Amino acid sequence: MTSTLLPGNIVYGGSVTAQDGQNSRSLGQYVLDKYKSFGDRTMLVDAAKGVEYSASFMHKSIVRLAYILQKLGVKQNDVIGLSSENSVNFALAMFAGFAVGATVAPLNVTYSDREVDHAINLSKPKIIFASELTLDRVAKVASKNKFVKGIIAINGSSKNFKNIHDLKELMDNDKFKTPSEFTSPLANKNEDVALIVCSSGTTGLPKGVQITQLNVLTTLDSQLKPTEIPMEETTVLTVIPWFHAFGCLTLVIYTCMGSRLVFLLKFEENQFLSAIEKYRVMMAFMVPPLMVFLAKHPIVDKYDLSSLMVLLCGAAPLSRETEDQIKKRIGVPFIRQGYGLSEATLGVLVQNDDFCKPGSVGILKVGIYAKVIDPDTGRILGANERGELCFKGDAIMKGYIGDTKSTQTAIRDGWLHTGDIGYYDDDFEFFIVDRIKELIKYKGFQVPPAEIEALLLTHEKIKDAAVIGKPDEEAGELPLAFVVKQANVQLSENDVIQFVNELASPAKRLRGGVIFVEDIPKNPSGKILRRVLRDMLKKPKSKL
């Protein structure tokens, strides 16, 4: 499959030939039908517990939980919150939500009270599923928001909210006479929102990205094409958090394609490597820090990783050196990079056998249009000309929930403006070279500097602040703050770091440190000149 150039320098990835998803009555029905068709095939493997779950178990459990949700008052287009680490219950809650026609809003398990409050006020969930790790925090915040009518505890209990149901008790309760089949309500697939995922913007707190049922079903259809390895015979490993769009959509897409999905709660060196060895994992979803681990860590040599055929790396750029080291060390034949964003449902660009030049992020996926524009004039550029990447197609989000202004800024005439600078070459392979958005990429997480800056400015001893990413081989970038102190005050680097630690989730902590400066360089309109700050970072004498 190759891309074609349409009039006006528009690049097109070709048409989506499969129509199963788009023709189904709803995403929920599609999932139920797929799981039913896979019978007793193993679908999910909890590698930490060593427990395998069959498709028939999943189908039966999804049907039961969907029925229970309806009895608890969840209707089509209601919102269900989901705050949990990777677990079979995360999958069941999400798929049961889809089955009743509800919108599922995953919540980052590391969110602080402030961030949970912001996120649920975007999506307004009627019911929130919460794990033992997050239950107290979710219950505390939910008690102050009347739109939350109930919490379902995946495990554990809390005294912070009166209307808490225990998931196991619900599933075991004889009063719920579950039918063996469940018909998902007919959806308006182009309008009905399947997922609200939080995307870190550049202007402060996360925005709620609305991914429609059609977005997901089209993405599923675009995956259904011949590959080097039949997906229904493939064992796939993921350690990407499912509350993250990348992880969540991986769960949906690969189980619906019939793959056996091995998952981990979190990355732990021995567990990660032993899962590959024990389950003969053929394909793994990676982020650059995991790739660096495979390339350099001495422990890797103690495990048999010979089953690995494909490593798919996303979320941040991967260096050619790291890729070569892994191929030489482990012998993985295919290392593929891709490019995607929450606003485009998953990946829009991906490498394959024929298009995998060093440094590229591949070619357009089917169903996607692309153009590169001059950020200043909007003029559409040609091959090998650098500009802002814009994408169009049925995978592009509906918009940011409750934020018309940001939606209109991001999507213009149907085109999603990414804020990333790149180009395509004469073979239509794309390269990312910079980004207009100043997001810091920490271990695959998008950290908005503006949010940390706004937080720092609430400190009474801080006059001004700016945050940039400090390059780090393992993490990608570490948040680092330049701080201007108020006159005649005592304030240490540790004081600032602890202040942020207490109010922000782990990815946003100032692991890169704090540099005290006389002033923050800005342009005439007040925009922070981060390029100048990066130059200062290279000169240690700037630290006062």
* pLDDT tens digits, one per residue of 451-479: 898 889 889 899 889 999 999 988 889 99
φ and ψ at 211, to 5 degrees?
Answer: -105, 120
What percentage of the chain exceeds 90 in pLDDT?
A: 67
Residue 340 within a domain: no
Residue 500 within a domain: yes
Half-sphere exposure of 207 (CA within 13 A, CB side): 22
| In contact, 485 and 462? CB cutoff 8 Å | yes
**Got the DSSP string for 67-99?**
HHHHHTT--TT-EEEEE--SSHHHHHHHHHHHH
DSSP state of 298: G
Q: Max CA-CA distance within the chain?
A: 72
Residue 542 pLDDT > 50:
no
Per-residue tokens: 297: 């860590």
Residue 436 pLDDT > 70:
no
What does the pLDDT read at residue 359? 81
| In contact, 182 and 32? CB cutoff 8 Å | yes
Residue 480 within a domain: yes
Region 233-244 average pLDDT = 91
Helix (H) or strand (E) run with residue 310 in it = strand 310-313
Work out the pLDDT band at 181, boundaries 50, 70, 90: confident
Least confident of 28-37, 45-54, 82-91, 233-242: 233-242
| In contact, 102 and 127? CB cutoff 8 Å | no
Residue 472 within a domain: yes
83 dihedral zone (left: phi>0; alpha: psi -120 to 50; beta): beta
Alpha-carbon distance of 116 to 444, in angstroms, equals 20
Residue 543 pLDDT > 50:
no
pLDDT digits (tens, 9 = 90+) for 289-310: 788 889 888 899 999 999 999 9
Region 19-42 average pLDDT = 94
Region 89-102 average pLDDT = 98
H helix runs in 261-372, sequence order: 269-279, 288-296, 320-330
Residue 524 within a domain: yes
Per-residue tokens: 427: 């073979």
pLDDT digits (tens, 9 = 90+) for 242-267: 998 888 999 999 999 999 999 998 88
Residue 194 within a domain: no
Pairing status of strand 207-212 against strand 193-199: antiparallel
Alpha-carbon distance of 400 to 211, in angstroms, equals 9
Interior angle at CA 109, CA 448 and CA 297, nearest 5: 80
**Got the DSSP string for 229-273?**
S-GGG-EEEE-S-TTSHHHHHHHHHHHHTT-EEEE-SS--HHHHH
Look at 421 and 525; give whichever has higher pLDDT. Answer: 421
Total tally of structural domains belonging to the chain: 1
What does the pLDDT read at residue 162? 78
Residue 489 within a domain: yes
Work out the pLDDT band at 202, boundaries 50, 70, 90: very low
| CATH of residue 492 | 3.30.300.30
What mean pLDDT value characterizes the chain?
Answer: 90
H helix runs in 193-237, sequence order: 213-223
Residue 475 within a domain: yes
Per-residue tokens: 450: 């503006």
Q: Hunting for tokens 């202040």 — which residue is that?
A: 499
Domain membership of residue 456 as a residue range: 440-538
